[in-house]
A and B are shown apart, each in its own frame.
Chain A
Amino acid sequence: MDDRLSRVFSALADPIRRDMVARLAVGDATVNELAEPYAVTVQAVSKHLKVLEDAGLVSRGKQAQRRPVHLEAEVFDLMTKWIERYRLEAEQRYQRLDAVLAEMAVEGPEQAKTRIAKTRIEGEAS
């Protein structure tokens, strides 16, 4: 699982691949359709697709000719959730800091000074 996450992250490290994923989020597309906006060969686009496929981000259709590229939304969600989870954790931590800062504001500068003197923090006490 961790290995897959690494592959997902490195697959998305490339701006063209990120752009391709963004376009596939709207709907399936063929390799030729995907290649259109870029000044690169279809072959190069196929290589990018291979990286996305190996990371489990996209899959190819079975129809022999078109073989449309499909975004595996589930895998993409997984990564977004990981980052979102991390963000939520940070946000919760900072909401607790909000509360501490609100207490400090109520406490007033006089008591704050006493506390600073007590704990002798660097830069304030020296």
Chain B
Amino acid sequence: MTTTTHPETTISADQALPAVHITREFNAPVEAVFRAHVEQDLVAKWLGPRGLTMRVDRWDASTGGAYGYVHSQGDEEYRFFGSFHEVRPNERIVQTFTYEGFPDSVSLETLTFEDLGGGRTRIRSTSMFETKDARDMMLASGMETGVVEGYEQLDDLLAEA
């Protein structure tokens, strides 16, 4: 896996901690990947799940800032909010994350940007939940949507072939 040029998302649920780790590489310089995480109009283009509209109500991606956005589909709305604990340009973003459907639950997300050279970047994210139960519920939620989207993606791939 050291020479791969196909950047696939890897994910692992920590066995010892209530955490989820995600790693992904991008064919873009670290400055661009970072911008795509902090500039509201860029974030809105990719963060929302497919088929859902993303509306950003509040966005201040700076240390001590905050955010709030809504994913909607017809009458259904899913609201999320949190604080930016630290935004360190091209290096690191630390933020909290709450889904309003579970208002008492909050996770802490740490995202690091790593310059791989040659215009490539690796990001690593760790979402730390309050309990393993909360983590597992997060993993189990939206199973149906994920499966449907997975098939849609497969359809797209087959259409291209």
Contacts from A to B (Cβ < 8 Å): 1-2, 5-6, 9-10, 12-13, 18, 81-83, 85-94, 96-102, 104-105, 112, 115-116, 119, 121-124
Contact = CB atoms under 8 A, between A and B. Distances in A.
A12 B15 contact: yes
A106 B160 CA distance: 23
Contact of B35 (A91, A98, A99, A121): A121
A123 B9 contact: no
Contacts of A88: 146, 149-150, 153
A44 to B, nearest CB: 19
Interface stretch (B75-83, B97-105, B133-141): B133-141
A87 B24 contact: no
Given A88-B150, A93-B46, A93-B49, 6 more contacts: A83-B139, A85-B143, A96-B50, A97-B36, A104-B32, A121-B61
A119 B41 CA distance: 9
Interface of B: 7-13, 15-16, 20, 22, 24, 26-28, 32-33, 35-36, 38-42, 45-47, 49-50, 61-63, 65, 87-90, 132-133, 136-140, 142-143, 145-147, 149-150, 153
A122 B36 contact: no
A98 B10 CA distance: 16
Given A83-B13, A88-B146, A105-B32, A119 B140 contact: no
Contact of A122 (B9, B38, B137): B38
A92 B50 contact: yes
Contacts of A105: 28, 32
Interface of A is mostly: helix
A2 B15 contact: no
A13 B15 contact: yes
Given A85-B143, A104-B28, A122-B61, A93 B47 contact: yes
A54 B38 CA distance: 45
A39 B25 CA distance: 41
Contact of A2 (B9, B46, B136): B136
Contacts of A98: 26-28
A93 B54 CA distance: 13
A122 B87 CA distance: 8
B66 to A, nearest CB: 13
B28 A122 contact: no
A29 to B, nearest CB: 23
Nearest to B9: A91
B42 A100 contact: yes
Given A83-B139, A90-B24, A122-B63, A100 B89 contact: no
